Amino acid sequence: MTDTDLGAFRTETRAWLEANCPTEMRDGIRDEETICWGGRNWQFTSDAQKTWLEVMAAKGWTVPTWPVEYGGAGLDRAHDKVLQEELDAIGARWPLQSFGIWMLGPALLAFGSHEQKLQYLPPIARGEVRWCQGYSEPGAGSDLASVQTKAASDGDHYVVNGQKVWTSYADKADCIFALVRTDPDAKKHLGISFLLIDMDTAGVSTKPIRLISGSSPFCETFFDDVRVPKSNVVGTEHRGWDVAKHLLTHEREMISGGGAGLLGTRSLGAVLAEHDGGMDAITRAEALQCEVDQLAIGLTLERYKDQAETGGGVGDASAMLKYEGTELNKRRHELLMSAGGADALEWEGTHAGLAADWLRTKANSIEGGTSEVMLSIISRRILGLPG
251 is an active site residue: yes
Instruction: Determine contact, residues 169/178, Cβ cutoff 8 Å.
Output: no
CA–CA distance, 118 with 161 (Å, rounded to integer): 28
- Taking only the tens place, the pLDDT of each residue in 73-100 is 999 989 999 999 999 999 999 999 999 9
CA–CA distance, 237 with 260 (Å, rounded to integer): 38
User: What are residue 162's phi and psi, to 5 degrees?
Assistant: 150, -165
pLDDT value for 245: 85
| Marked catalytic residue, from 86, 137, 220, 251 | 251
pTM: 0.82
DSSP assignment letter at 47: H
Give the 3-state secondary structure of 185-229: CCCCCCCEEEEEEECCCCCEEEEECCCCCCCCCCEEEEEEEEEEE
Counting other chains too, the contacts that 70-73 makes at CB distance below 8 Å and 24 or more residues apart are 70/109, 70/117, 70/118, 70/121, 70/122, 70/125, 71/121, 71/122, 71/123, 71/124, 71/125, 71/126, 72/125
Q: Which of 13-17, 231-235, 298-302 has the lowest mean pLDDT?
A: 298-302
CA–CA distance, 161 with 361 (Å, rounded to integer): 32
- Taking only the tens place, the pLDDT of each residue in 131-179 is 999 999 998 877 788 999 999 999 999 999 999 999 999 999 999 999 9
pLDDT at 277 over 60: no
Coil/strand/helix, residue 135? coil
Q: Which of 3-12, 13-22, 52-61, 77-86 has the lowest mean pLDDT?
A: 3-12
User: What are residue 52's phi and psi, to 5 degrees?
Assistant: -65, -45
Q: How far is CA 165 from CA 65, 130, 138, 139, in A?
A: 32, 18, 6, 10
Name the more confident of 108 and 308: 108
Contacts of 85 (CB under 8 A, 6+ apart): 10
Q: What is the CA radius of gyration of the chain?
A: 21
CA–CA distance, 300 with 321 (Å, rounded to integer): 8
